[in-house]
Amino acid sequence: MLKKLNSTTLILGLSIVFLLLICLYPFLTLFGKISFPLPKGEFDLKYYLAIFDNKTTLLALKNTVIVSVGTAFLSTLMALPLSWLLTRTNIPGASRLRSWFCLPYAIPPYIGAIAWIYLGNPTTGLLNLFLGEGFINIYTYGGLIWVMSCFFYTFVLLSLLAALDRMDPSLEEAARLSGAGPIRVFFQITIPIILPALLSGVLLVLLAASASFGVPAMIGNPASIYLVTTRIYTFMKMGSIGGTYTAGALSIVLLVLAIIVLWLNQRIMSKGHFKTVGGKTSRPSLIDLGPWKIPLLGFLGFSFLVLFLMPLFGILVTALSKVQGTFSLDNFGLQNFQKILFETDETPRALWNSTKLAFSVATIAVIFGMVLAYIVQKTKIKGRGIVDILASLPYATPGTVLAFAFILTFSSGILGFRVPLYNTIYLIGMAYIAKYLNFTLRTCSDGFGQIDDVLAEAARVSGASWLTTMKTIWFPLMKPALVASWFLVFMPAFSELTMTILLSGPGLETLGTLIFQLQEYADASGGGSAVLALFTIGIVAFINFLVKTISKGKYGL
């Protein structure tokens, strides 16, 4: 019995230590090294004060606020009426439209930046070929906000769809029976009830926009619109001690902002559990759109065309074009595919690194996520609720901040062991695990929460050890959740850019960093990044299909 208890305690204990090591220790190290710099070892604000002495950095802070608020505002304008049309009206094909409009959530935003550069470049953009040179200029504040909103509106949309699906529709129906029109009911009844979910989605967009790197680097930098994340990247690439510590101070500022946003989100959601929102409710009676049905369906079709199909078409045309800025049949060919897939040395290495990283990270994250979810759901260990908070911290932290914290913490070793990890694939993998562990923990927690304890209790009464119970009871019953969570980690890890751009070095190219390098520096013809962007979209779509199939529609888009 003691042996069984020790093995169980050892596994659970090591899982907690691993969680502390990758989800808390790096942030403590980041704060300690920047706030208590050597050699004095005393609390020092000089690197924080240096931020306010640099006009470009102050402008980056101002730009981050402007772009984040603008993105949150536009995302809300896009998602709010869309969620109402898809849940409260008899618009044809609502279920399919929901999946279509949520698709941008699964695609890396930097892919969207590449697409809109091909469409809205003031000189060679495809749209400007037809509308006139300079008619659309993506390299502006408006262009930056638009591209971000095309992806981050899904944060608000998913939050609102979930709230509207759970909401008791009786108040809306009572208002309509009293003579109130659909618009009045929406503004006076529906919005006040779903306001917590709306504010939560808005805060998530603010956080995502302020933490974004790929879109600001590709669209903002050419227009001299610098954000905090791109300034951190610039300071890191300076290679000096002062630049590194200034990047660290900026990272802490961004981390504090992220914590404030998360705290506000937590407060809003904790106060948002009204009796009218919760549990399974009756289906709402749908509003008959009457003669507006076809025009609104056409508007939704046009919106999906602009948000998803047109950028995808832009990437496809660019990938097929021999010379950018020319739209003609004799300009199309497969030269870019031949060059990138078969003649570029970095491509097979990047694909192999991305596949290896995504596969190993997803596997490790699922294993530890299952054990941690067991601790949260099936044990009575004191303080087990902190596990969920710790796992959520890296996911909510901007990727540049997390990457910088891992560089400072693990570059020269782990907990005193001289195992240099800087410019190695292992450091990238550790950062990925920290970032996406929250996915597996939450998915596995849902799985454990739906399984009654009686089967495990019967196994223990029969003399089965904890490991045997996990192998014969929990694992088979949890298999759909485990497979779904594996793919949910594999998908973003395969195309990750924000963290990898800081953590990778020579020979460590991944799909995300190679696309970024081709787009920014190395590809004169412009088609190489489009080829890899198409490849990434195809992989993401295929994985999303597998997730939906395996989980029977519970996970995926």
CA distance 375 to 377: 6
- The amino acid sitting at 135 is F
Cα three-residue angle 100-104-106, rounded to 5 degrees? 105
Which of these three, 267, 302, 330, is where a domain ends?
330
Model pLDDT, residue 284: 65
CA distance 197 to 188: 16
Q: Which of 138, 206, 139, 196 is nearest to 166 (CA)?
A: 196
Confidence of residue 146 (pLDDT cuts 50, 70, 90): very high
In degrees and rounded to multiples of 5, residue 545 shows phi and psi of: -60, -45
Across 267-276, average pLDDT: 55
Check if the beta carbon of residue 188 is closer than 8 Å to that of residue 206: no
Residue 250 lies in a domain: yes
Considering the domain architecture, whether residues 301 and 355 belong to the same structural domain is answered as no
Residue 169 lies in a domain: yes
DSSP 445-479: HHHHHTS-THHHHHHHHTT--HHHHIIIIIHHHHH
pLDDT digits (tens, 9 = 90+) for 102-126: 888 888 888 888 888 888 888 878 8
Across 239-258, average pLDDT: 78
Residue 126 lies in a domain: yes
If one counts the domains in the chain, the total is: 2
Across 180-196, average pLDDT: 79
- The amino acid sitting at 352 is W
DSSP 336-399: HHHIIIII-THHHHHHHHHHHHHHHHHHHHHHHHHHHHHHHHH---TTTHHHHHHHHHHHHS-H
Model pLDDT, residue 5: 47
Q: Is 286 helix (H, G, I), strand (E, B) or coil?
A: coil
Q: Is 167 helix (H, G, I), strand (E, B) or coil?
A: strand
For 2, 132, 184, the CA distances from 314, given in Å and listed in that order, are 64, 17, 40
CA distance 541 to 491: 9
- The amino acid sitting at 196 is P
Provide the CATH number for the domain around residue 257. Answer: 1.10.3720.10
- Name the residue with tokens 């939450």: 442
Structure tokens at 533: 């962007």
In 6-52 the beta strands, taken as DSSP E runs, fall at none
Confidence of residue 76 (pLDDT cuts 50, 70, 90): very high
Residue 447 lies in a domain: yes
Considering the domain architecture, whether residues 230 and 355 belong to the same structural domain is answered as no
Structure tokens at 366: 């699922």
Which residues are paired to 287 by β-bridges?
A: 89
Model pLDDT, residue 524: 52
More confident residue, 478 or 159: 159
Q: Is 15 helix (H, G, I), strand (E, B) or coil?
A: helix
Model pLDDT, residue 360: 93
Considering the domain architecture, whether residues 100 and 229 belong to the same structural domain is answered as yes
More confident residue, 433 or 459: 433
- Name the residue with tokens 């932290």: 397
Model pLDDT, residue 2: 42
More confident residue, 239 or 160: 160
Q: Which of 434, 435, 433, 430 is nearest to 419 (CA)?
A: 430
Q: Which of 195, 510, 159, 538 is nearest to 358 (CA)?
A: 510
- Name the residue with tokens 């870019």: 336
Range picked from 5-9, 274-278, 317-321 for highest mean pLDDT = 317-321
Across 396-406, average pLDDT: 84
- The amino acid sitting at 445 is S
Model pLDDT, residue 364: 92
Considering the domain architecture, whether residues 88 and 26 belong to the same structural domain is answered as no
Considering the domain architecture, whether residues 319 and 356 belong to the same structural domain is answered as no
Q: Residue 306: exposed, middle, or buried by beta-carbon count in 10 A (0-12, 13-18, 19+)?
A: exposed
Residue 547 lies in a domain: yes
pLDDT digits (tens, 9 = 90+) for 339-371: 888 888 888 999 999 999 999 999 999 888 888
Mean pLDDT of the chain: 80
Query: Rounded to an integer, what is the distance from CA 309 to the centroid of its chain?
Result: 21
Residue 42 lies in a domain: no
Considering the domain architecture, whether residues 33 and 64 belong to the same structural domain is answered as no
pTM of the model: 0.82
pLDDT of residue 497 exceeding 90, the answer is no
Considering the domain architecture, whether residues 15 and 91 belong to the same structural domain is answered as no
Considering the domain architecture, whether residues 438 and 509 belong to the same structural domain is answered as yes
Considering the domain architecture, whether residues 550 and 460 belong to the same structural domain is answered as yes
pLDDT digits (tens, 9 = 90+) for 190-223: 788 888 888 888 888 888 888 888 889 889 888 8
- The amino acid sitting at 472 is T
Residues 6+ apart with CB under 8 A from 29: 405, 408, 409
Check if the beta carbon of residue 107 is closer than 8 Å to that of residue 90: no
Residues 6+ apart with CB under 8 A from 479: none
Across 144-163, average pLDDT: 88
Considering the domain architecture, whether residues 218 and 320 belong to the same structural domain is answered as yes
Confidence of residue 275 (pLDDT cuts 50, 70, 90): very low
Residue 287 lies in a domain: yes
Across 513-542, average pLDDT: 79
CA distance 230 to 214: 9
Which of these three, 305, 330, 355, is where a domain ends?
330
Considering the domain architecture, whether residues 354 and 229 belong to the same structural domain is answered as no
Q: Which of 536, 516, 250, 510 is nearest to 400 (CA)?
A: 250
pLDDT digits (tens, 9 = 90+) for 15-37: 788 888 888 888 888 888 887 76
Q: Count, in order, helices (H) and strands (E) of the chain.
A: 27, 0
Which of these three, 283, 298, 330, is where a domain ends?
330
Model pLDDT, residue 10: 73
Q: Which of 455, 511, 497 is nearest to 478 (CA)?
A: 455
Domain that holds residue 393: 1-37+334-557
Model pLDDT, residue 277: 46
Model pLDDT, residue 70: 94
Residue 215 lies in a domain: yes
- The amino acid sitting at 277 is V
Model pLDDT, residue 78: 92
The helix (H) or strand (E) run that includes residue 438 is: helix 425-449
- The amino acid sitting at 368 is F
pLDDT of residue 74 exceeding 90, the answer is yes
pLDDT of residue 422 exceeding 50, the answer is yes
Query: Rounded to an integer, what is the distance from CA 178 to the centroid of its chain?
Result: 43
Considering the domain architecture, whether residues 368 and 400 belong to the same structural domain is answered as yes
Torsion of CA 209, 215, 217, 219, to 10 degrees: -120
- Name the residue with tokens 């088979």: 476
